[in-house]
A and B are shown apart, each in its own frame.
Chain A
């Protein structure tokens, strides 16, 4: 590309640079800033509006989308938490996500470790099987999955949901921890074996602690993915008392169409977002760093 432009550009280069001096820079910078600010407003204003509305009565919300609440309706939160069942859904979600996260991190690390550091027949085949699990749409699996759970008595139970979460988060976890374990140095492992550690101890006391930064990154992504999961619970966990948060919000929103308690609906939205917002703020650097480096190094 440069070869094409060189001849033309050489003659005009000195003139160009003078024209596009500080004046042109300022223009480009301000146009870019204006565009970026507009985008930021489009991203952030809906959230702010939701927070504001969550303190208003339904009547106020319907009257004017911008007005400040006459009285800050903290009752909306209490109402959403107890009457609308958000509290119960929250507890269910915490149980399911916490268990699934611990199990998938442990199993994922074990599987990735063996795949990355041991040579045996079928090694590549298993790796590609994991890749396939990452590629095919969950919708292809959803109907047979429903019957697998039903036949094993796990349908509409939290353990059943936890197991499915683990299974569907596993390929992602293995895929990314694989490259991480691959990059760990051999020397430390060899030293551990020489000092008399077996494979088990070498993994739990030496290799796993060394993989801690990679584990942390994958865990954050798994947390977000599992916390935000919607399709699996909607299809496989239809008992209202065992709803998770995302599912509960959806059903609350569709009921609110009749009883119309918009204040509580907005409060419910805020309460669903707060945990992920906190995680995002705490781990913002690590999260974006992980996206950028890809290999979680």
Chain B
């Protein structure tokens, strides 16, 4: 290797780090093609629409009219007097409060049982057959959200559905024709359940990975001090993986603020009395059915703002409730980086 260092030009000398290498045609053409091609597609189809949306939201554009008048903030003023949109906004806030909380509690419970629910003697380990439960509960993550919605719409069907079949089979005759998705009292809760159902498995796997990153000595020490499994879970495990929980909260919140696919599958019209209508559904209708594109993009901006606000609230709450700085294992940090996967498959 040392012999090559004397070659004229000296480009490939190992001593020269790559950042200081000269620009050759080979290098420049390589970087240009490798960067410009992907970036062009990304900027044209992702970034520029984001930026344009900000402008369109300030116009009265109907998309097909040649004129596009700048109307300032009047779309936003109109939005906050629009009862249907405000109803949708409230529904979304409710979704963002309930869905992440329930999902995370369930996922934490399952992952704790899987990882440290085993015998209290010997090595700290999970229940027998835990991988079976993990594989089963992860499966819904792979199924298209629209199909999940359609399946559950059939399960909730008043007369031929699985749920009412089970309930009447158990002797609860009152549920014989109960329209779960058609009653204002139940439509939202049962829709939320479906969203929770589809996400629990993914976050279980994520939390299992995080819990495995908690040093075994910490858990052993807690056990020697007499902590039971519940105590270990609440006092040791959850504080140690709090950053994962925070990340999960944010991604679940983003999913709940969208919720388009699930709601569109179960109640395309927004449900009884608009009780399950979401901002995303309303945006879609206003844009592609009514053609009010300026107004619809203003809704999109509000949706994005609410999403960012939600993330900020989660960060703040997390910061305020954090006690002492708990040192984190490297694997915990790595598991956290995987959370965007959840968004990827559900867009």
User: Do A and B make up one complex?
Assistant: yes
Check B110 against A36 for contact (C-beta < 8 Å). Answer: yes
Check B113 against A140 for contact (C-beta < 8 Å). Answer: no
Check A126 against B56 for contact (C-beta < 8 Å). Answer: no
Contact among B19, B35, B287 with A119 in the assembled complex (CB-CB below 8 Å): B19
Check B152 against A46 for contact (C-beta < 8 Å). Answer: yes
Determine whether B337 belongs to the interface, using a CB cutoff of 8 Å to chain A: yes
Determine whether B58 belongs to the interface, using a CB cutoff of 8 Å to chain A: no
Interface SS majority for chain B: helix
Q: Within residues 97 to 150 of chain A, which ones have a CB less than 8 A from any CB in chain B? A: 107-108, 110-111, 113-114, 117-120, 126, 129-130, 132-134, 136-148
Contact A107 B265, CB 8 Å, known A44-B136, A47-B151: no
Chain B residues lying within 8 Å of A249, measured Cβ to Cβ, are: 144, 146-147, 150
Chain A residues lying within 8 Å of B153, measured Cβ to Cβ, are: 253
Chain A residues lying within 8 Å of B135, measured Cβ to Cβ, are: 284, 288
- Please tell me which stretch of B181-189, B293-301, B314-322 contacts chain A, meaning at least 4 of its Cβ atoms lie within 8 angstroms of it: B293-301
Contact among A20, A169, A194 with B1 in the assembled complex (CB-CB below 8 Å): A194
Q: What is the interface size of chain B, counting residues whose CB is below 8 A from a CB of the partner?
A: 126
Beyond contacts A40-B136, A288-B135: 8 other A-B pairs, Cβ-Cβ < 8 A, are: A36-B133, A53-B154, A111-B38, A172-B340, A230-B146, A231-B347, A288-B138, A292-B212
Instruction: Show 17 residue pairs from A and B whose CB-CB distance is below 8 angstroms, ordered by the A residue.
Output: A5-B225, A22-B119, A42-B197, A44-B136, A108-B38, A110-B37, A139-B304, A144-B50, A145-B49, A168-B347, A170-B38, A224-B345, A225-B347, A228-B143, A235-B288, A288-B138, A291-B202
Q: Residues on A close to B: CB < 8 A?
A: 1-2, 5-6, 8-10, 12-13, 16-17, 20, 22, 24-25, 28-29, 32-33, 35-36, 39-40, 42-47, 49-50, 53, 61-66, 107-108, 110-111, 113-114, 117-120, 126, 129-130, 132-134, 136-148, 163-164, 166-172, 174-175, 179, 186, 189-190, 193-194, 198-200, 203, 221-222, 224-225, 227-232, 234-235, 245-247, 249-250, 253-254, 262, 265-266, 269, 272-273, 276-277, 279-280, 284, 287-288, 290-295
